Amino acid sequence: MNDRPELFRGNRILLGCIYWAFVLYVFVPLILMVLMGFKDSRFIGFPIRSWTLDWYVGVFANTEVLSTFGYSIAIAVLSTLISVFVGTWIAVLLESRKFTGRPVIFGLTVLPALVPGIISAIAFRIYARWLGIEPGMGAIIWSHAVHNVPFVVLVVMARLSTLPKSQMEAARDLGADPLVAFVRITLPYLVPAILGASIFCLLLSFDDFVRSFFLGGYEPTLPVLIFAMLRSGMSPEINAIATVALIMTAGIGIWAERFTRRMKKDT
Amino acid sequence: MTKLIFNRRRFLGTAAVSGAALASPAYLRRGFAQSGGEVNIWTYNDFVPDAFRRQFEADTGIKVNIRLVDDQGKQFNLLAAEQPNPTVDIMTVAGHRFLQFINSELLAPLDTDRLSNWGSINPTFSESDWATIDGNKWGAPILSGAEVLAYNSEIVSEEEALTWDTLFSDKYSGQTAYIIQDMMSIIMLKMGYDGNMVAYMDDPDEAARIVNEAKQFLIDHKPLVRKYYDSGAEFQQMMVNQDIVLGHAWNGPAAALINDGFPVGMTIPREGSYGFVYTFNVANNAPNADNAYTFLDALLASPEIGAAMTKASGFISTYKGADQYLNELERKSTSFPEEQLANLQFFRAEANEMKYGLVDPAVEEIKAA
Amino acid sequence: MTDSATAKQDRPALGSAGDAPTFWGRLVGWGPYRLLMQLATASPRRQFLILMIFPVLWVLTQHLGPMLYMIRVSLTDAYPVAPGVEQSFTLEHYAKFFTNSIFWQPFFRTLTFAATFTFCTLIITYPVAYFLARHVSRRNQMRFLLLLLIPFWVGEIVRTYAIMILLGNTGAVNLALQTLGLVDRPIPFMYTSFSMGMGIVYLTALYMLLPLYSALEKLPQSMNEAAADLGAGAWTRFRRISLPLTIEGISSGCTLVFLISTGFYATPVLLGGPSTTVFAETIAGFFHVAGDEWPTGAAFATIMFMAALVITFAFQKLMNALRKGEAK
């Protein structure tokens, strides 16, 4: 990549150190979390006097924890699909040209991101009742989707603003109508932004507690479950659940990446 | 009822009980269930013993759907948002929070005649002054807690822990923690006033003066405190990490530490303290009210069930004779010497509107000071 | 994922003549589709209206609806309404904020914290993103980036407790320091602005990292080399080339992080000390403690998000001005 590495070597080493220090910073708490899942006690923390596998075994023995995990993943994926679709559309509108009311639309778009969690949860709950949406999976997906749209819009707009105008014009000159031009030119250009935004949305949804709690029914999402379990103490069991969830999420992520890569090769 | 097995390994006792109580799978959800065959409960983790739940489901054919909650405020908000068509039959309200729920018409009065086992509750709890409001009973007491002074017994002596003053001494500066709302009531009591403020219901000026005095005390001692905390889990973690060596706590979280072998002791200091009672309540317009009564009656049937709830939560059982099903350590961690118990009184709700109208802003001021 | 970056180069030809007709080529040639498109794109105006109608409906019903409801609640005297009681409207809940100075402190503290933590996050993640985008081979970039994303899949609460285990008096850091003989007594890291900052930067780093990375990744390497040829030092190259060209990413990253930071509740509550109360905590208090204070909570929330909106707007204007200034 660098034609003349000697020129940038000093920077590179320095930046490399910063990068790995950052890796350390984000991973140390993670390692502690995994480690504490092996502690033979009802509470996490040092010193660890004896070790046990019971907590991890318990997670796999407990089908309800696993079904909660699946439930959370399903909610995250479905709400992300909606957010990405709506968010991209809004971003395209906002970047298409200047028009009267554009700042108003932009303001309304970022609104859900600005409201503190508890307020938005209660507002959603009351609004859901007004709309006749029953609490449960659909309601959670709806609230996550609405809440995450602003993040998609911000990320996609940033990328869209750098799209060379000439490409669109060239497409038009070749006779492409706006829809085809969008699908063939704009969308591929937006792929990195859309992927990034999807990661945001998946994370926000997967980690959301308040909205899931207020709009959920008798089946908890993972964070709702963890919050309730926390009532009787931060036990290694929660660490074990979180670790297993992390490993499974990573597994699904890697599989999805492989899968999409293979799909691309095939076509 | 079949003999319930409680003497399993600790792992099974905590992980499996909470594990199975935590998630009601999709097939149990409202709407999918058989006609009339379910009861919906909002409660805390570890409050409904799993063994009891399975036995009850087998005996009656009523499915028990449990939705775990983590505080009173959320239950209130959720129920307020759901009324007049709630999804819940039974919820878990602390006795001194009754009024707020009753005033918003969220609870139905409890018809104790429909509970043949009502008599198995210790009258200290079932017939207490806070339990009757507007001539009605509103909930079945299941577990009781107390505001205690908990301490690391390797560092703090029991002698020192017998007074709230130690919590504000220079010796343990930066090593203490408390729940600020609860501490306001205790400080008022410590100063010789009625922390429930019932005595000042006709004298708002006096009430304001007292709250102000308690507030000033906590502001003056703010440099000594490490943390104003909210949840029992936070308190436990601070004790485990030795970020604090003593603090005000509810007895449940402290008892859980003791039962796990941590060097923790707890007292009801001589200046006095407050107790509270968790009750199971039937929601107003409950969709399955009949099943709710069946469930409550079954739950109250045996002191062994009460003991199981105590083991899991660390709170004190309200059942007569529950302690005979506890082992030595469990009994120790959920009981207090007679002379300390004499210092305990219950929170009362009558003056809550005035009290929290004064205390809530005071808490904000302490935090902002 | 990795080939997306190179997608620019290998763009396929657009239904060009000569090739076997692609799906898109066939679609464009298909009668009904043509008719539909002609109707839709008859004039730029109509085309724009069609583009506009769905977003406008969405933001009005989905974004504004819940908020309007909240504002309505903030103007009522009591909520939830007790049966049989007449509801009336009032401004007293807003007045409560402006007449009680005790609420101002957490309010301004939240804004200051959010701004400070946003800045810290930017300073910390910029070099990381820069390293990723400029000094790691394309093939490895995604791997390095994904490596950083792993910890963010752990929920906020579990991660926050992990930080307690890290920084507590008997935590990993103190344990290490004592083993090394660097300190005799544990250092009380917990329940300070430091522990809180540590937790919040942990939560926000990702939201800064991704926009920065995607901005830096587009930066042509040749410009840096040309500048180096002209004798520009590392700092000058950074200031004159990288920084101006990534202002887009900085702006969107900072906006995201700032917005998210103002709403944080659990982390500041769990990791902060007695004097770090944030406004979200104040607001939540009105919903937790007393049920009849929903209107006050709603009013305070309205004030908070208005303030955040104004600041974000001003920030975006500033960034736009900077961009224009640099373009000259």
Residue C35 forms contact with B (CB below 8 Å): no
Checking if the pLDDT of C283 tops 60, the result is yes
**Contact state of A30 with C259 under an 8 Å Cβ cutoff:** no
- Whether residue C60 lies inside any domain: the answer is no
What are the pLDDT digits (tens) for B301-311?
888 999 999 98
- Considering the entire predicted model, what is its pTM? 0.81
- Residue pair A175/A184 in contact (Cβ under 8 Å)? The answer is no
Min CA distance, B364 vs chain C (Å)? Answer: 7
User: How many folded domains does chain C comprise?
Assistant: 1
- Whether residue C9 lies inside any domain: the answer is no
d(CA A27, CA C65): 41
Min CA distance, B244 vs chain C (Å)? Answer: 9
ipTM here: 0.78
Residue C80 preceded by cis peptide, ω within 30? yes
What are the pLDDT digits (tens) for B160-209?
999 999 999 999 999 999 999 899 999 999 999 998 888 898 999 999 99
* Span C59-71, average pLDDT: 84
For residue C276, give both structure tokens: 């770090």
- Whether residue C24 lies inside any domain: the answer is no
Element (H, E) at B281: strand B273-282
- Whether residue C236 lies inside any domain: the answer is yes
- Whether residue A177 lies inside any domain: the answer is yes
Interface test with B, best of C101, C288, C294 (most B CBs within 10 A): C288
**Contact state of C234 with A189 under an 8 Å Cβ cutoff:** no
Higher pLDDT, C268 or B369: C268
d(CA C164, CA C143): 29
- Whether residue A213 lies inside any domain: the answer is yes
d(CA C235, CA C242): 10
Element (H, E) at B147: strand B140-152
User: How many folded domains does chain A comprise?
Assistant: 1
The dihedral built from the CA positions of residue C62, C66, C69 and C74, taken in this order, carries a sign that is: negative
- Whether residue A79 lies inside any domain: the answer is yes
**Contact state of A230 with B29 under an 8 Å Cβ cutoff:** no
- What's the confidence (pLDDT) of residue A116? 66
Which of C5, C24, C67 comes nearest A115 by C-beta?
C67
Chain C residue numbers with beta carbons less than 8 Å from the beta carbon of A250 are 150, 153
Domain that holds residue C197: 97-327
- Whether residue C71 lies inside any domain: the answer is no
- What's the confidence (pLDDT) of residue C20? 60
**What is the CATH architecture of B10-143+276-333?**
3-Layer(aba) Sandwich (3.40)
- What's the confidence (pLDDT) of residue C3? 41
Maximum mean pLDDT: which of A154-158, C15-19, C226-230? A154-158
- Whether residue A58 lies inside any domain: the answer is no
Domain that holds residue A237: 63-266
Confidence of residue B34 (pLDDT cuts 50, 70, 90): very low
- Whether residue C125 lies inside any domain: the answer is yes
Checking if the pLDDT of A81 tops 70, the result is yes
- Residue pair A221/A68 in contact (Cβ under 8 Å)? The answer is yes
Identify the CATH number of the domain in which residue A125 sits.
Answer: 1.10.3720.10
Maximum mean pLDDT: which of B175-179, C41-45, C254-258? B175-179
Q: Strands B227-228 and B344-346: what pairing?
A: unpaired
Chain A residue numbers with beta carbons less than 8 Å from the beta carbon of B20 are 62, 64
**Contact state of A41 with B29 under an 8 Å Cβ cutoff:** no
- Whether residue A144 lies inside any domain: the answer is yes
Which of C83, C103, C168 comes nearest B364 by C-beta?
C103
Side-chain half-sphere CA neighbours of B364 within 13 A: 24
- Whether residue A106 lies inside any domain: the answer is yes
d(CA A163, CA A185): 9
What are the pLDDT digits (tens) for C140-155?
777 788 788 888 778 7
* Span B224-240, average pLDDT: 90
**Contact state of A116 with C304 under an 8 Å Cβ cutoff:** yes
The torsion angles phi and psi of C70, rounded to 5 degrees, stand at: -65, -45
**Contact state of B174 with C290 under an 8 Å Cβ cutoff:** no
- Cα separation values, A190 from A88, A116, C143, C250, Å: 9, 30, 20, 18
Percent pLDDT > 70 in chain B is 90
Q: Torsion angle of alpha carbons C304, C305, C307, C310, nearest 10°?
A: 180
- What's the confidence (pLDDT) of residue C327? 55
- What's the confidence (pLDDT) of residue B5? 31
- Whether residue C45 lies inside any domain: the answer is no
User: Counting one residue from A and one from B, how many pairs have CB atoms under 8 Å apart?
Assistant: 133
Poorest-pLDDT segment among A66-80, A123-137, B171-185, B186-200: A123-137
Confidence of residue B263 (pLDDT cuts 50, 70, 90): very high
B145-274+336-368 CATH fold: D-Maltodextrin-Binding Protein; domain 2 (3.40.190)
CATH 3.40.190.10 region(s) of chain B? 10-143+276-333, 145-274+336-368
Checking if the pLDDT of B14 tops 70, the result is no
- What's the confidence (pLDDT) of residue C292? 60
DSSP helix/strand/coil, B38:
strand
Higher pLDDT, C264 or B289: B289
- Whether residue A209 lies inside any domain: the answer is yes
- What's the confidence (pLDDT) of residue C267? 85
Q: How many CB atoms lie within 10 A of CB A173?
A: 9
Chain C residue numbers with beta carbons less than 8 Å from the beta carbon of A105 are 55-56, 59
Checking if the pLDDT of B281 tops 60, the result is yes
- Whether residue C47 lies inside any domain: the answer is no
Confidence of residue C4 (pLDDT cuts 50, 70, 90): very low
- Report chain B's mean pLDDT, rounded to a whole number: 83
Q: How many CB atoms lie within 10 A of CB B119?
A: 11
Identify the CATH number of the domain in which residue C144 sits.
Answer: 1.10.3720.10
